[in-house]
Chains A and B, each alone.
Chain A
Amino acid sequence: MIAIKKWLSLSPFILIIAVSCENTDNGLGNHLVDPQAFSTYIDTCTVKLTTLKSDSIATSGNNILIAGAINEPWWGNLEAHSYLSFTLPVFSEHRQNENTPLVMDSLTFEMHYTGSHAGDSTEALVVSLHTLKKVLTLPSNGSFYSHHHQESDSIPLVSQFLPSYIQQNDSISLRLPDKLGEELLEKLSLHQAEFENQETFNQYFPGLALTMPKNHGNTGIYNFHLNDSSGTINLYYHFVEEFKEQQQITIKPNTSTSYYQIKHNYADTPFAALKSGYNGLAATTTNNEAVTAGLSGFLIRIEFPYLRNILELGKTGYVDYAELILRPVEHSYPTEYPLPETLQLYVVDENNSATNAVTSANGTELQTGDLQTDEEFQTHTQYVFDITDFINTEINAIGINKRALLLSLSDQDLNSMAQRVILGNTRHKTNPVQLIIRYNRYE
Chain B
Amino acid sequence: MNKWSIFLILLIKPLSGVNAQHLTSSPYSMYGLGQPEITASASSLAMGGIAAGQSSSRHINLSNPASLSSMDSLTFYFDLGVSARNYTYSLQNYSEKRNEGNFTHFAMGVKPTQWWGLSAGIAPYTTVGYNIKDYQYIEGSTALQEVHFEGTGGLTKLFVSNGFSLSRNLSVGFTAAYIFGNIYHNELQSNINIEQKSYTRSLRTEYAFLYQTYWLKNKALNIGLTYSPVKKTVLTHEQNVRDQNDNILLTENPANTTQYLPEQFCLALSTQLNEKWNWGMQFERQNWNKNTTGNASIKLADLNRFSMGASWTPKPRNARKLMGASTYRLGWSIENSGYITSGINPMVYKVAAGIGFPTHRSSSINVALSYQNDNANNKALSTEVWQLSVGFSLLENWFEKPKFR
Is B147 an interface residue, CB under 8 A from the partner?
yes
- Report chain B residues within 8 Å CB of A5: 322, 357, 359-360, 365
- Report chain B residues within 8 Å CB of A1: 320, 322
Q: A41 near B139 (CB under 8 angstroms)? A: yes
Is B388 an interface residue, CB under 8 A from the partner?
yes
**Which B162-190 residues have C-beta < 8 A from chain A?**
187, 189-190
> Which residue of the partner chain B has the closest CB to A315?
B250
Chain B interface residue count, CB cutoff 8 Å, equals 63
Is A297 an interface residue, CB under 8 A from the partner?
no
Beyond A12-B390, A15-B390, whether A26 also contacts B190 by CB under 8 A is no
Q: A27 near B103 (CB under 8 angstroms)? A: no
Q: B189 near A39 (CB under 8 angstroms)? A: yes
How would you classify the secondary structure of chain B's contact residues: helix, strand, loop or mixed? strand
What separation, in Å, do the CA atoms of A44 and B244 have in the docked complex?
25
Is B60 an interface residue, CB under 8 A from the partner?
no
- Report chain B residues within 8 Å CB of A138: none
Q: A36 near B27 (CB under 8 angstroms)? A: no
> Which residue of the partner chain A has the closest CB to B380?
A31
A-side interface residues toward B, CB under 8 Å? Answer: 1, 4-5, 8-9, 11-12, 15-16, 18-21, 23-30, 32-43, 315-320, 392, 438, 440-442
Tell me the smallest distance from the CB of A35 to a CB of chain B, in Å: 5
Beyond A24-B131, A28-B89, A30-B133, whether A39 also contacts B139 by CB under 8 A is yes
Tell me the smallest distance from the CB of A42 to a CB of chain B, in Å: 7
Beyond A8-B359, A317-B192, A318-B192, whether A35 also contacts B249 by CB under 8 A is no
> Which residue of the partner chain B has the closest CB to A437?
B140
What separation, in Å, do the CA atoms of A24 and B134 have in the docked complex?
13
- Report chain B residues within 8 Å CB of A33: 27, 30, 132, 134, 147, 149, 187
- Report chain A residues within 8 Å CB of B98: 23, 26
- Report chain B residues within 8 Å CB of A35: 134, 136, 147, 187, 189
Is B100 an interface residue, CB under 8 A from the partner?
yes
**Which B137-156 residues have C-beta < 8 A from chain A?**
138-141, 143, 145, 147-149
Q: List 8 additional contacts besides A26-B133, A29-B132, A29-B381; criterion CB under 8 Å.
A: A18-B101, A19-B101, A19-B102, A27-B133, A28-B95, A30-B133, A38-B136, A442-B241
Q: A440 near B191 (CB under 8 angstroms)? A: yes
Q: A12 near B82 (CB under 8 angstroms)? A: yes
- Report chain B residues within 8 Å CB of A317: 192, 249
What separation, in Å, do the CA atoms of A12 and B359 have in the docked complex?
15
Q: B147 near A37 (CB under 8 angstroms)? A: yes
- Report chain A residues within 8 Å CB of B243: 318, 392
Tell me the smallest distance from the CB of B45 to a CB of chain A, in Å: 14
How would you classify the secondary structure of chain A's contact residues: helix, strand, loop or mixed? mixed
Tell me the smallest distance from the CB of A333 to a CB of chain B, in Å: 31
Is B96 an interface residue, CB under 8 A from the partner?
yes
Tell me the smallest distance from the CB of A149 to a CB of chain B, in Å: 52
Is B367 an interface residue, CB under 8 A from the partner?
yes
**Can you list 16 residue pairs at the A/B interface with Cβ under 8 Å?**
A4-B322, A12-B81, A15-B83, A26-B133, A28-B90, A28-B95, A32-B27, A33-B134, A33-B149, A35-B134, A37-B147, A37-B189, A39-B136, A39-B138, A317-B249, A320-B190
What separation, in Å, do the CA atoms of A227 and B283 have in the docked complex?
98
Tell me the smallest distance from the CB of B382 to a CB of chain A, in Å: 10
What separation, in Å, do the CA atoms of A25 and B96 have in the docked complex?
10
What separation, in Å, do the CA atoms of A212 and B70 have in the docked complex?
112
What separation, in Å, do the CA atoms of A23 and B139 have in the docked complex?
30
Q: B132 near A30 (CB under 8 angstroms)? A: yes
What separation, in Å, do the CA atoms of A12 and B381 have in the docked complex?
31
- Report chain A residues within 8 Å CB of B95: 28
What separation, in Å, do the CA atoms of A315 and B95 have in the docked complex?
37
Tell me the smallest distance from the CB of B242 to a CB of chain A, in Å: 9
> Which residue of the partner chain A has the closest CB to B132?
A29
What separation, in Å, do the CA atoms of A318 and B30 have in the docked complex?
26
> Which residue of the partner chain B has the closest CB to A7?
B365
Is B194 an interface residue, CB under 8 A from the partner?
yes
What separation, in Å, do the CA atoms of A317 and B193 have in the docked complex?
10
What separation, in Å, do the CA atoms of A318 and B190 have in the docked complex?
9
Is B227 an interface residue, CB under 8 A from the partner?
no
Tell me the smallest distance from the CB of B337 to a CB of chain A, in Å: 14
Beyond A16-B82, A19-B101, A32-B298, whether A26 also contacts B365 by CB under 8 A is no
> Which residue of the partner chain B has the closest CB to A30?
B134
**Which B303-350 residues have C-beta < 8 A from chain A?**
320, 322
Q: B101 near A16 (CB under 8 angstroms)? A: yes
Is B99 an interface residue, CB under 8 A from the partner?
yes
Beyond A20-B101, A32-B28, A32-B30, whether A25 also contacts B131 by CB under 8 A is yes
What separation, in Å, do the CA atoms of A35 and B137 have in the docked complex?
12
What separation, in Å, do the CA atoms of A442 and B242 have in the docked complex?
10
Q: A440 near B192 (CB under 8 angstroms)? A: yes
Is B295 an interface residue, CB under 8 A from the partner?
yes
- Report chain A residues within 8 Å CB of B194: 36-37, 442
- Report chain A residues within 8 Å CB of B83: 15
What separation, in Å, do the CA atoms of A442 and B388 have in the docked complex?
41
Is B94 an interface residue, CB under 8 A from the partner?
yes
- Report chain B residues within 8 Å CB of A320: 190-192
Tell me the smallest distance from the CB of A389 to a CB of chain B, in Å: 10
What separation, in Å, do the CA atoms of A21 and B87 have in the docked complex?
14
